[in-house]
Amino acid sequence: MAELRSRRSNLAVPGSNPRFLEKAKGLPADQVFLDLEDACAPLAKPGARKNIVAALNEGGWGQKIRTVRVNDWTTEWTFQDVLEVVGGAGANLDCIMLPKVQDAAQVKALDMLLTQIEKANGLEVGRIGIEAQIETAQGLINVNDIAFASDRIETIIFGPADFMASINMKSLVVGALHPDYPGDPFHYILMQILMAARARGVQAIDGPFLQVRDVPAFEEVAKRSAMLGFDGKWVLHPGQIDAANEIYAPSQEDYDHAELILDAYDWATSEAGGKKGSAMLGDEMIDEASRKMALVIAGKGRAAGMGRTSSFTPPEA
């Protein structure tokens, strides 16, 4: 199982605002994405590229995953975004986020461009990842192909606002339930994205909640995708970061229990434990399926930097 990089909170930072770029360095988000797309007016994009290159090269980001969201391939800015950012700060960049991905060919085009820029600048080829954002009906139809389009893919992301416009959804509240619909109108979309991400072995990230000052409502929405298995969510305001970090990490109790299951199963299947295929952990029977479930919870806890508060003691013979 590949080691996870924690992406519980994914903070959007407009590249056109140097003050926000500097402030973001000190915030406790797992990932920052420095935005050249929707957060930047067309006339501000050239300056935003320079701001982002400078901010990345100045450092101070700690252990955060450093991502830049470029403009989508239907615009005139994508090529220059990638060329300037990766050419200028590729050594200090982890991922490029591609918005409004429609099909696998768009991911492959970005992969090819990244490879050429890496080679031209003496960077390690293939190190910079791609985060693919699904924001249209066409993108969702092709999400499985998109997930497998490149070895660089690290996350599949839901972009709710553009997606709602894409399907003519009758709502202006982004990322929340609607009182006129007896259920969750985003459930199908989220599950499609989650299945594609899990089949590919990468992370699934939920999109933003725009009512940024309503943290309880953010928590309600986040808990739904976290329960499905999503790895994290976008945050648009520093006030949402702590909530995302808590919701998308296991509880301490669940994390401890997962680690105990792994230890108990390892012992039970060992020579000393009798080479058993199943065992008891207290009143609970555990087996290989239990181990797989525990690996998920333990992996998320470890990625979030959690520590154990209990330890396993083999039962006496």
- What is the per-residue DSSP string for 172-214? --TTS--TTSSS-TTHHHHHHHHHHHHHHT-EEEE---S-TT-
Model confidence at 282, in pLDDT bands (50, 70, 90)?
confident
Q: How far is CA 105 from CA 44, 112, 126, 159, 200, in A?
A: 28, 10, 17, 19, 17
Question: What is the predicted pLDDT for the residue at 2?
Answer: 45
Domains of the chain: 9-248 (3.20.20.60), 252-304 (no CATH)
CA pair distance 112, 98, nearest whole angstrom: 14
The answer to the question of whether 127 is labelled as a binding residue is no
Consult the annotation and say whether 152 binds a ligand: no
Q: What counts of helices (H) and strands (E) characterise the chain?
A: 12, 10
Cα(311)–Cα(264) distance, integer angstroms? 10
* pLDDT at 273 exceeding the cut of 90: no
pTM of the full structure: 0.92
Residue 3: what pLDDT?
57
Model pLDDT, residue 88:
98
Q: Is 263 known to sit in a ligand binding site?
A: no
The overall average pLDDT reported for the chain is 93
> How many residues in total does the chain contain?
317
Band (pLDDT 50/70/90 cuts) for residue 175 is low
Amino acid (1-letter code) at residue 242: D
At 281 the pLDDT is: 86
Which residues of the chain form beta strands (DSSP E)?
Answer: 9-14, 31-35, 65-69, 95-98, 129-134, 153-158, 203-206, 232-235, 279-281, 284-286
* pLDDT tops 70 at residue 317: no
